Structure 1
């Protein structure tokens, strides 16, 4: 249901100009036997980072009717991302403001998994600016995409620190308990707090119907290219062909390792 409405509203938004995609068509760059996906960003990126947009919180009520998809439980709402990296691009947002850098709670996982309806859906979460988040109001994201690094992930061959859990079916409570365990073992909780809530060191989560990956982050930029949670599945966004050439020479996995914690 969420995806059906998402496709319908995305088509209307593209036709009306309300939806402003950040991407061009996919470019496939093969490196070390992996077919990475790269997009050259559109001029809409400048709109996204303009002061009037960057300082506005779009995740609080009243919601833009063209972006509203559905309410999920008592604490969350599903909205359409006005600046999608893949169309459609869904957001599972806390109704009330909760910092993106505070720990996830069970209700977050319960709402998030409702959008992971088949094998093509990727959920990702960016905990704070260093992890790639441009909006500090709690939100988890959903797109449909191929997963270039999935084989590398499942074979345990990622060259940076991470935690992987595999499962046969999604269970929000089990995912949450595992998340709490990893947050503790990786020492991702900080001693500081914001709005009375504990803060966390930056990290990303990738979530599919089959596995969940958590990656601690140390930086959000290498050279002139900024990192993002979806990079860790093998999708990249660059601002120019010159950046693409630089990234290809530098190495996709080297870039990811620099953004994380080398083993």
Structure 2
């Protein structure tokens, strides 16, 4: 059953691109060298800017209902896996709630159970943007998955997350840890265990708890592989024309014609992450 979902996603993508439902974004790729030799991916958008990246007023909810041409699989009674309509990478999947749930609310046990079911079928880099200040483009709840083949690096900054999860990197060595929490995950990924890890990290970042707060008390990004989970507290969505979501902290940045590429080349990619992260304490 492993990777059956990925093959289904690829098949759906082929058909959806043929009928115009899927609109892959054309980008050019360069690399930026960060601290300690870290290689960041910087993709420059060459296609027309999609609507979800444009500064506009309220938009229709694209997930209620979702485009059936993009549907990959329904997950129980509560969730569905669909394709990202404007992907940069092939088979970029979204795990969405079938009914309205706010992106800015707490991730629920149902969300984590659905994620665990999908991850058992195909895995990769999971990420979540909690709201506009964290880079979310839609208010309807959706987690995202970039599939990875066995042995393929999870993300450009994989080594950084691994070192933090192992406790090798300290706040003194890496100031970004003042805004982040990274923990190693056990081998068995159940929804219940993932939910508890998520709530623990959220409380450590002073985002509150579901028992005391209707919603998290701040914006954040979540990143996860089968080996580690990370939360990063956010204070703004972007700076110098760069829009930063969770993938920015994974080492994948996107620029448009409005982005000040000279600034990031001069200051370095970590300067962008520090500028949008919110230190605790």
- Scaled to the shorter chain, the TM-score interval is 0.7 to 0.9
Counterpart selection for 2:96 from 84, 88, 93 = 93
Distance (Å, rounded) in 2 between the aligned partners of 1:13 and 1:253: 37
Distance (Å, rounded) in 1 between the aligned partners of 2:51 and 2:180: 34
Q: 1:104 is paired with a residue of what secondary structure? A: coil
Tell me, yes or no, if structure 1 residue 209 matches structure 2 residue 213. no
CA contact (8 A) 1:41 1:237 kept: yes
Deviations 1:66-89 (A, max 9, x none): 111111111111111101132211
Counterpart selection for 1:159 from 175, 181, 196 = 175
Could you tell me which runs of 5 or more consecutive residues in structure 1 were left unpaired when the two chains were aligned: none
Counterpart for residue 150 of structure 1: 158
Query: For the aligned residues, what is the CA RMSD?
Result: 2.8
Output aligned runs, 1:88-237, within 5 Å. 88-116=91-119, 121-144=124-147, 146=153, 147-156=155-164, 157=169, 158-160=174-176, 161-169=179-187, 170-189=189-208, 197-237=214-254
Counterpart for residue 261 of structure 1: 278
Q: 2:23 is paired with a residue of what secondary structure? A: coil
Per-residue deviation at 1:199?
Answer: 4.7
Question: Measured at CA, do residues 243 and 23 of structure 1 come closer, stay the same or move farther in structure 2, by a change above 3 Å?
Answer: farther
Q: 2:49 is paired with a residue of what secondary structure? A: helix
Per-residue deviation at 1:176?
Answer: 0.7
Per-residue deviation at 1:222?
Answer: 1.4
Structure 1 window deviating more from structure 2 (30-39 vs 101-110): it is 30-39
CA contact (8 A) 2:27 2:47 kept: no
Question: Measured at CA, do residues 17 and 25 of structure 1 come closer, stay the same or move farther in structure 2, by a change above 3 Å?
Answer: farther
Q: What count of residue pairs does the alignment treat as equivalent?
A: 259
Question: Measured at CA, do residues 60 and 148 of structure 1 come closer, stay the same or move farther in structure 2, by a change above 3 Å?
Answer: same
Q: 1:214 is paired with a residue of what secondary structure? A: strand
Distance (Å, rounded) in 2 between the aligned partners of 1:232 and 1:182: 17
Counterpart for residue 34 of structure 2: 31
Distance (Å, rounded) in 2 between the aligned partners of 1:237 and 1:64: 25
Distance (Å, rounded) in 2 between the aligned partners of 1:3 and 1:110: 19
Structure 1 window deviating more from structure 2 (241-250 vs 159-168): it is 241-250
TM-score if structure 2 supplies the norm length?
A: 0.82
Q: 1:111 is paired with a residue of what secondary structure? A: helix
TM-score if structure 1 supplies the norm length?
A: 0.87
CA contact (8 A) 1:23 1:39 kept: no
CA contact (8 A) 2:52 2:137 kept: no
CA contact (8 A) 2:27 2:46 kept: yes
Q: 2:200 is paired with a residue of what secondary structure? A: helix
